[in-house]
Structure 1
Amino acid sequence: MKYDSILETVGNTPIVKLSSIAPAHVSLYAKVEAFNPMGSVKDRLALAVIEDAERRGALKPGQTVIEATSGNTGIGLAMVCARKGYPLVIVMAENFSIERRRLMRFLGAKVVLTPAADKGSGMLAKAIELAETHGWFLTRQFENEANADVHSRTTAQEILRDFEGERLDYWVSSYGTGGTVKGVARVLKEKRPETKIVVTEPDNSQVLGTGLPDRFRPHPVQGTSPDFIPKLTADAKSAGYIDQVLPVNGGDALRRARELAVREGIFVGISAGAAVAAALKIAETAPRGSTILAMLPDTGERYLSTPLFDDVAVDMTAEEEAISKSSPSNRFDIRPAPAPAAATAPAAAVDAEAAAFVDKLIREEPALLFALEWCEFCWATRKLFKAHAVPYRSIDLDSVAMQENDWGGRVRRAVGARVGGPTIPQVFIGGELIGGNAEMFEAARNGELERLVRAAGVTFDAEAKVDYGSLLPKWLKQKSAA
């Protein structure tokens, strides 16, 4: 199927039967919102609030859009604003997952962080303040009726279509803004009044169930259950759409999200785990033959830096090492014997032109990097220069510009002859060899890099707060820390 825009792919997400984790006496289904283009249910509201504002004339061409979000709404808005040409600023509390920040910035948005101690209400207050200060358009996702309306028009209609002529006894969802709950529940109450609406929240932070915002406590179910009751959620509760608010333990939410991956092959986030945990609680007492539908709001890729992945190993486990050792080749514990000296090919000669080129660069360039374009250790070295605002020149030996007549290879051999080995990258500061990636980072840590850079007349930002480990390849950093 062809589409004129990525925005046309929002919605029409599949409903999947959960056969492996559900008890035999009920039918348990999940609506997998990760099939939206940006991987979450919030794509629906992002598109809806922007198009509603355009129709009303509230959003002018080229005007900056701003919103406070834990991430998924921001990611959806970043997609919509990128396609429609609006600048976007997102305000997000610092304790939400790093993946979300990076996804939004990758899509062109600016991300302003607020202190974790200020919670969701703090990031919302900051967004309102910035909107008023700069005349930006605030989408107001927590109270915007377009948020609920899109779920009445799309999500609810998809559910009615997919369960036409069949039982649907329970619909289970977490809540964030309340748009999904209000929009779907009001349609189900009209069209399928037999369906019970169950909304879940963390058991240690029962704000909706008690109606008391001061019951808020930090919890792991990111994107849901803020420290206030959003207007759309309050609307759904006061209208009588919600039959039950069911508390779920955070550990159970994490466990069920992992079970969905391992037993059903469905890769989703913590809020999806919470909804399934609630659905399974309902199943314990539900009459035989009941049908339960749980909303799975987003993909698990939003949670790589959260407790959801705490027990997922980076290095091989003992069991995996045993598998590796069950056959003889390509093992870390057995190194192949070095080739006999006679079998080693003679080193290629260094030509005078390449040697002269290298000597000239070392003399003339205050900060010089001999590198490969896509080498991870070369990236790390470039990031270190950038972190301390050091201007440098990089000679990328494998670039297209260096390929003619094997010029890059000839220069690399000349560099190798100069430093006594073939390792890349190699760094020279003020004509003095620092060495490769390891030597570069050690020089940064012990102050030698700053001394050499300043002596060479190059700027160096000594005030920069740099986590050197974060600049290294992720696999190397994590392996070193293990």
Structure 2
Amino acid sequence: MNAPFSPRISQSRSLVRHGSVLDLVGNTPVVLAEKLSPPGREVWLKLESANPMGSVKDRLALGLIEAAEQDGSLKPGQTVVEATSGNTGIGLALVCARKGYPLVIVMAESFSVERRKILRYLGARVVLTPASLKGTGMIEKARELADEHGWFLPRQFENENNEQVHEATTGMEIVRAFADAPLDAFVSGLGTGGTIAGVGRALKAHMPQARIVACEPDNSPVLASGLPQQYADDGAPAASHPRFRPHPMQGWAPDFIPAVTARAIADGVIDEVLPVSGSEALAWSRRLAREEGVFCGITSGATFAVARQLASEMPEGVRVLAMIPDTGERYLTTPLFGDIEEDMDQVEMEISCSTPGSRFDAAPAAAPAAQPATASPNALSHVDAIIADKAQPIVFFSLEWCEFCWSAQKLLELMGVNFRGVYLDGPDYSDPDWGSDVRVALAQCSGGAPTIPQIFVGGAHLGGATDLFDAFNDGRLTEALERAGIAYAEPELENAYALLPKWLQKR
């Protein structure tokens, strides 16, 4: 008899109960990149994706909000507004949701779409600025909004609490983690500069032999250029830096040197700045995922590339720690996932075809011929009354959890028309006999149509989802709405089939 299986689940992290999700910010793990470290060297990873919203910026968001609460600059219920490439905004959305502050995030339109969706999912408002105005444009817009509406602006790029948060939390966590095995170098990219500034200050005090290494895109050497940044009186950037160029490392290296970063450089916290290319960043992000199982974004790959190269040039036995600031899910619409296909490739198709069942290239088994069914008078009366209700001239017989139905409903919503939704999988039709009876009655009232949804306009049967899309595309839908006296809007939509999920568009 086999011995009982003992799962390899770490017990080292805290298993206590917590009163708030905010209690989970920080205390993130450090893990060795065992397979990808150069021979005889150790490259360790600080996994900030373990924060509640998946990035190092959760620390900053919580720290800036609580510091403002303590000094009275943030009032109860006051709206918070901030300019961000995404991760700080997502962290702020978490904190503001938990603490009850309305939040407006200003973001350049060039940042990934999934960041906008995460922010809105958490209840934040997202105001986009033109990509051509870069990071300085979104900062200027956030300041305008704060001044105009009396909103609280955390000023992450200038706020001294930024580096203090990381010195007290991120930095001291690293000091404790390597107390018995001191680091030889710490490597991080820079967004605001708060992470490397705070960690650098902690390491300078407790582990002074460790080199503090910043990395930046090789095509945008803003720091390495040595050219000064122009600042306004309040420390905000007055203009874009002349050496800035667009690069793929979202969240890194804005088009200016933040005041937080400038302070760290002036104070000698950063020992050197090393370049990294976009192609290296993408390649090492993928290798971390596929060889170490570390799911991370482009900036993480860039940081690891520099840390690994640095370690390989140092003597054997060195320990280098790389900051892994976030998760790969922030990059699904970026070049990082550009070659990741949605459909099966040739190898996957061959695997599918290696067994006979559940294959797209196999003809489906013929279904037995269905016997015609007749609805009861009660079911027919029920459906007829719904269709004939003049107070609700558009009736949408639907399934609440059906993607065809969602897509058809989305079209009606885009056109701004009110409709009655009759959900045949809802509790009103949960009794199997009654639910089946009503579906048979609906099929009879719709000329035998077997599918769901079915739409009626002004008592007349329009059809199912594809019928609705065809009617929109060829103008019959607007004609039917006008005949029924129903007001509607003209959505900016050329082809209604674009509302279908991609996997349904291919069928």
141 and 201 in structure 1: CA distance in 2 versus 1, 3 angstrom threshold: same
- Going from structure 1 to structure 2, the CA distance change for 1:427 and 1:151 (only over 3 Å counts) comes to same
Give the superposition deviation at 1:470: 5.3
Q: 2:178 aligns with which of 139, 143, 163?
A: 163
**Which residue number in structure 1 is paired with residue 217 of structure 2?**
202
Amino acid at match of 1:400: P
Change (3 A) 1:50 1:469: farther
Separation in 1 of the partners of 2:498 and 2:272?
45
Cα contact 2:175–2:202 (8 A) shared by 1? no
The one-letter amino acid of 1:355's match is L
User: What SS is found at the alignment partner of 2:455?
Assistant: strand
Q: Which amino acid aligns with 1:196?
A: R
Contact 1:30–1:295 (CA under 8 A) maintained in structure 2 = yes
- Mapped to 1, the partners of 2:484 and 2:378 lie a distance apart of 26
Partner of 2:230: none
Aligned length: 476
C-alpha contact 1:167 1:290 (8 A) present in aligned 2? no
Q: What is aligned with 2:272?
A: 244
Q: Counterpart of 1:14?
A: 29
SS across alignment from 2:180: coil
The answer to whether residue 437 in structure 2 is matched with residue 413 in structure 1 is no
Q: Which runs of 5+ in 1 are unaligned?
A: none
Greater shift in the superposed pair: 458-467 or 446-455:
458-467
TM-score, normalised relative to structure 2: 0.91
* Letter of the structure 1 residue corresponding to residue 176 of structure 2: R
1:223 aligns with 2:238: no
Q: Indicate how the Cα distance of structure 1 residues 97 and 421 shifts in structure 2: closer, same or farther if over 3 A, else same.
A: same
CA distance in 1, matches of 2:494, 2:302: 37
C-alpha deviations, 1:170-227, integer Å up to 9, x for none? 1110110111011111111222111111111111111121144111111111111000
Match of 2:415 in 1: 388
User: Could you tell me which residue of structure 2 aligns to residue 264 of structure 1?
Assistant: 292
Match of 1:402 among 426, 429, 435: 429
Q: Which moved more, 1:325-334 or 1:437-446?
A: 437-446
Query: Which residue of 1 is the match for residue 94 of structure 2?
Result: 79
Q: How far does residue 356 in structure 1 lie from its aligned partner after superposition?
A: 2.6
3-state SS of the aligned residue for 2:45?
A: strand
- Cross-structure match for 1:456: 484
Tell me the distance in 2 between the aligned counterparts of 1:78 and 1:85: 10
127-136 or 269-278: bigger deviation = 269-278
Shifted more, 363-372 versus 11-20: the winner is: 363-372
Give, in whole Å, the separation in 1 of the partners of 2:497 and 2:130.
Answer: 24
Choose the corresponding residue for 2:303, options 272, 275, 287: 275
3-state SS, counterpart of residue 171 of structure 1: strand
| Contact 1:178 1:232 (C-alpha < 8 Å) held by counterparts | yes
For the pair 1:476 / 2:492, whether they are aligned, the reply is no
Pairing 1:354–2:376 present? no
Q: Secondary structure at the match of 1:112?
A: strand
Q: Deviations over 1:406-436 (max 9, x none)?
A: 3332221112233323211111222333222
Change over 3 Å in CA distance of 1:463–1:346 after alignment to 2: closer
Q: Counterpart amino acid of 2:460?
A: E
Give the counterpart of 1:371 among 398, 420, 425.
398
The Cα of 1:297 is off from its aligned counterpart by: 0.4
Cα drift, residue 362 of structure 1: 2.5
Amino acid at match of 2:470: E
Q: Distance in 1 between matches of 2:47 and 2:357?
A: 42
Number of the residue aligned with 1:52: 67
Q: Secondary structure at the match of 1:458?
A: coil
Q: State how far apart, in whole Å, the 1-side matches of 2:449 and 2:472 are.
A: 22
Mapped contact 1:397–1:409 kept (Cα < 8 A): no
Cα distance in 2 for partners of 1:471, 1:421 equals 22
**Deviation readout 1:371-392 (Å, 9 max, x if unpaired):** 0011111111111111111111
Give the aligned partner of residue 454 of structure 2. Answer: 426
Retained in 1: the 8 A contact 2:473–2:495?
no
Unpaired stretches in structure 2, ≥5 consecutive residues: 1-15, 228-240
- Pick the aligned partner of 1:26 from 34, 37, 41: 41
State the partner residue of 2:7: none
Q: Is the 8 A contact 1:354 1:414 kept in 2?
A: yes
Shift of 1:345: 5.2
**Of Structure 1 and Structure 2, which has the larger fraction of its residues in helix?**
1
**Conserved 8 A contact 1:200-1:278:** yes
Deviations 1:267-287 (A, max 9, x none): 111111110111122133121
Aligned mates of 1:386, 1:201 — CA distance in 2 = 45
Residue in 1 that maps onto 2:332: 304
* Aligned-residue CA RMSD (Å): 1.6
Code of the residue aligned with 2:331 in structure 1: it is: Y
Opposite residue 300 of structure 1, the aligned amino acid is G
1:290 aligns with 2:331: no
In the alignment, which of 141, 145, 167 is matched to residue 152 of structure 1?
167
2:190 corresponds to which residue?
A: 175
Q: Which runs of 4+ in 1 moved over 6 A?
A: none
Q: Does the alignment pair 1:137 with 2:165?
A: no
Tell me the CA shift for residue 306 of structure 1: 1.3
Structure 1 position 467, deviation (Å): 7.3
Q: Deviations over 1:313-352 (max 9, x none)?
A: 111111000001111111111124314x5xx453432222
Counterpart-to-counterpart distance in 1, 2:378 and 2:215: 72
Per the TM alignment, residue 234 of structure 1 is displaced from its structure 2 partner at its CA by: 0.8
Q: Any conservation in 2 of the 1:390–1:460 contact (CA below 8 Å)?
A: yes
Deviation per CA, 1:86-112, whole angstroms, max 9, x where unpaired? 111111111111111111111111111
In structure 2, C-alpha distance between the alignment counterparts of 1:445 and 1:248, rounded to whole Å: 49
- Give the SS at the match of 2:371: coil
- What residue number does 1:95 align with? 110
Cα pair distance change 1:202/1:383, threshold 3 Å = same
Greater mean alpha carbon deviation, residues 265-274 or residues 344-353: 344-353
Kindly indicate whether the alpha-carbon contact (under 8 Å) linking 1:131 and 1:137 is maintained by their aligned counterparts in 2.
Answer: yes
Change in Cα spacing, 1:252 to 1:336, as seen in structure 2 (3 Å) is: same
Give me the whole-angstrom Cα distance separating, in 1, the residues matched to 2:118 and 2:153.
Answer: 20
Distance 2:127 2:432 in 1: 49
> What is the aligned counterpart of 1:328 among 356, 360, 363?
356
Q: What does residue 238 of structure 2 align with?
A: none
CA contact (8 A) 1:95 1:116 kept: yes
Structure 2 CA distance for aligned equivalents of residues 257 and 475 of structure 1 = 28
- CA distance in structure 2 between the partners assigned to 1:460 and 1:77 by the alignment: 38
CA gap 1:208/1:419 in 2 versus in 1, 3 angstroms: farther
State the identity %: 53
**Mapped contact 1:388–1:464 kept (Cα < 8 A):** no
CA contact (8 A) 1:48 1:147 kept: yes
